[in-house]
Amino acid sequence: MLKGIPEIISPDLLKILDEMGHGDDLVIGDSNYPAASNAKRLVRADGQNVPDMLDAILSLFPLDTFVEKPVTLMQVVKGDPTVPEVQDRIRAVVRKHDQRGDAAIGTTERFEFYERAKQAYAIVATTEHGAYGCVILKKGVIH
Protein backbone atom coordinates (compact mmCIF):
# COMPACT_ATOMS: atom_id res chain seq x y z
CA MET A 1 0.00 0.00 0.00
CA LEU A 2 1.29 3.47 -0.89
CA LYS A 3 0.13 6.92 0.15
CA GLY A 4 -0.73 9.62 -2.36
CA ILE A 5 -1.20 7.37 -5.42
CA PRO A 6 -4.60 7.94 -7.03
CA GLU A 7 -6.58 4.68 -6.91
CA ILE A 8 -7.31 4.95 -10.64
CA ILE A 9 -3.57 4.31 -11.27
CA SER A 10 -3.01 0.56 -11.49
CA PRO A 11 0.27 -1.04 -10.38
CA ASP A 12 1.15 -1.71 -14.03
CA LEU A 13 0.55 1.93 -14.98
CA LEU A 14 2.52 3.18 -11.96
CA LYS A 15 5.49 1.05 -13.04
CA ILE A 16 5.32 2.41 -16.59
CA LEU A 17 5.05 6.03 -15.45
CA ASP A 18 8.10 5.51 -13.22
CA GLU A 19 10.26 3.84 -15.86
CA MET A 20 9.52 6.43 -18.55
CA GLY A 21 12.25 8.97 -19.18
CA HIS A 22 12.39 12.60 -20.21
CA GLY A 23 10.93 13.05 -23.68
CA ASP A 24 9.03 9.75 -23.71
CA ASP A 25 5.42 9.91 -24.89
CA LEU A 26 2.39 8.40 -23.18
CA VAL A 27 -0.92 8.04 -25.00
CA ILE A 28 -4.28 7.99 -23.27
CA GLY A 29 -6.76 6.58 -25.75
CA ASP A 30 -10.54 6.69 -25.90
CA SER A 31 -12.75 3.66 -26.55
CA ASN A 32 -12.43 4.01 -30.33
CA TYR A 33 -8.63 4.28 -30.41
CA PRO A 34 -6.83 1.17 -31.79
CA ALA A 35 -4.71 0.83 -28.66
CA ALA A 36 -3.94 -2.90 -28.75
CA SER A 37 -2.72 -2.86 -32.34
CA ASN A 38 -0.56 0.24 -31.85
CA ALA A 39 0.95 -0.21 -28.40
CA LYS A 40 4.50 -1.19 -27.54
CA ARG A 41 3.18 -1.46 -23.97
CA LEU A 42 -0.55 -1.51 -23.29
CA VAL A 43 -2.30 -0.72 -20.02
CA ARG A 44 -6.05 -1.40 -19.87
CA ALA A 45 -8.07 1.13 -17.89
CA ASP A 46 -11.55 -0.26 -18.47
CA GLY A 47 -14.35 1.70 -16.86
CA GLN A 48 -12.27 4.90 -16.81
CA ASN A 49 -12.67 8.09 -18.82
CA VAL A 50 -9.85 10.15 -20.27
CA PRO A 51 -10.18 13.32 -18.13
CA ASP A 52 -10.12 11.36 -14.85
CA MET A 53 -7.19 9.23 -16.03
CA LEU A 54 -5.35 12.35 -17.21
CA ASP A 55 -5.95 14.08 -13.88
CA ALA A 56 -4.54 11.10 -11.96
CA ILE A 57 -1.53 10.75 -14.27
CA LEU A 58 -0.68 14.46 -14.17
CA SER A 59 -0.69 14.35 -10.37
CA LEU A 60 2.44 12.17 -10.70
CA PHE A 61 3.81 12.90 -14.19
CA PRO A 62 5.73 16.08 -15.04
CA LEU A 63 5.01 17.53 -18.47
CA ASP A 64 8.04 18.46 -20.57
CA THR A 65 9.00 22.12 -20.17
CA PHE A 66 11.58 21.98 -22.97
CA VAL A 67 8.95 21.66 -25.70
CA GLU A 68 6.28 24.21 -26.53
CA LYS A 69 3.33 21.78 -26.61
CA PRO A 70 3.83 18.71 -24.36
CA VAL A 71 0.15 17.78 -24.71
CA THR A 72 -1.28 16.81 -28.09
CA LEU A 73 -4.93 16.31 -28.98
CA MET A 74 -6.33 14.75 -32.13
CA GLN A 75 -7.88 17.22 -34.58
CA VAL A 76 -11.43 16.67 -35.76
CA VAL A 77 -11.37 15.18 -39.26
CA LYS A 78 -12.29 17.75 -41.91
CA GLY A 79 -15.99 17.51 -42.66
CA ASP A 80 -16.83 15.64 -39.45
CA PRO A 81 -19.55 17.62 -37.62
CA THR A 82 -18.53 16.17 -34.24
CA VAL A 83 -17.96 18.68 -31.46
CA PRO A 84 -15.33 17.01 -29.22
CA GLU A 85 -16.66 18.11 -25.83
CA VAL A 86 -14.27 15.74 -24.07
CA GLN A 87 -11.42 17.97 -25.25
CA ASP A 88 -12.81 20.84 -23.15
CA ARG A 89 -12.57 18.60 -20.09
CA ILE A 90 -9.04 17.54 -21.08
CA ARG A 91 -8.01 21.20 -21.42
CA ALA A 92 -9.41 21.95 -17.95
CA VAL A 93 -7.31 19.15 -16.45
CA VAL A 94 -4.15 20.42 -18.17
CA ARG A 95 -4.85 23.95 -16.86
CA LYS A 96 -5.14 22.48 -13.34
CA HIS A 97 -1.72 20.80 -13.53
CA ASP A 98 0.40 23.02 -15.79
CA GLN A 99 0.87 26.77 -15.41
CA ARG A 100 1.07 27.16 -19.21
CA GLY A 101 -2.59 26.12 -19.42
CA ASP A 102 -3.98 25.96 -22.95
CA ALA A 103 -0.62 27.12 -24.34
CA ALA A 104 0.80 23.67 -23.45
CA ILE A 105 -1.72 21.96 -25.73
CA GLY A 106 -1.30 21.36 -29.44
CA THR A 107 -3.33 19.41 -31.97
CA THR A 108 -2.43 17.14 -34.83
CA GLU A 109 -4.21 15.50 -37.73
CA ARG A 110 -5.70 12.04 -37.05
CA PHE A 111 -3.24 9.92 -39.03
CA GLU A 112 -0.25 11.96 -37.82
CA PHE A 113 -1.55 11.36 -34.29
CA TYR A 114 -1.70 7.60 -34.98
CA GLU A 115 1.84 7.52 -36.35
CA ARG A 116 3.23 9.43 -33.39
CA ALA A 117 1.25 7.26 -30.96
CA LYS A 118 2.77 4.09 -32.44
CA GLN A 119 6.16 5.37 -31.25
CA ALA A 120 4.93 6.14 -27.72
CA TYR A 121 6.45 4.39 -24.76
CA ALA A 122 3.01 3.13 -23.72
CA ILE A 123 -0.69 3.48 -24.40
CA VAL A 124 -3.38 3.60 -21.73
CA ALA A 125 -6.67 2.29 -23.16
CA THR A 126 -9.72 3.82 -21.46
CA THR A 127 -13.40 3.30 -22.21
CA GLU A 128 -13.97 7.03 -22.82
CA HIS A 129 -16.95 7.44 -25.16
CA GLY A 130 -16.33 11.06 -26.13
CA ALA A 131 -15.13 11.30 -29.73
CA TYR A 132 -11.60 12.63 -30.25
CA GLY A 133 -10.80 11.92 -26.61
CA CYS A 134 -7.22 10.79 -27.26
CA VAL A 135 -4.21 12.64 -25.89
CA ILE A 136 -0.42 12.31 -26.08
CA LEU A 137 1.69 13.49 -23.14
CA LYS A 138 5.44 14.17 -23.33
CA LYS A 139 7.18 13.43 -20.04
CA GLY A 140 9.35 16.09 -18.50
CA VAL A 141 11.72 16.22 -15.58
CA ILE A 142 11.18 16.98 -11.92
CA HIS A 143 12.91 20.24 -10.98
Catalytic residues: 22
How far CA 30 is from CA of 16, 18, 45, 66, 116, in Å, comes to 19, 23, 10, 27, 16
Backbone dihedral angles phi then psi of residue 20, each to the nearest 5 degrees: -65, 150
**End-to-end CA, the chain:** 26
CB 13 within 8 A of CB 54: no
CB 70 within 8 A of CB 140: yes
Spatial neighbors of 113 by CB under 8 A, at least 6 apart, are 72, 74, 75, 134, 136
How far is CA 89 from its chain centroid? 12
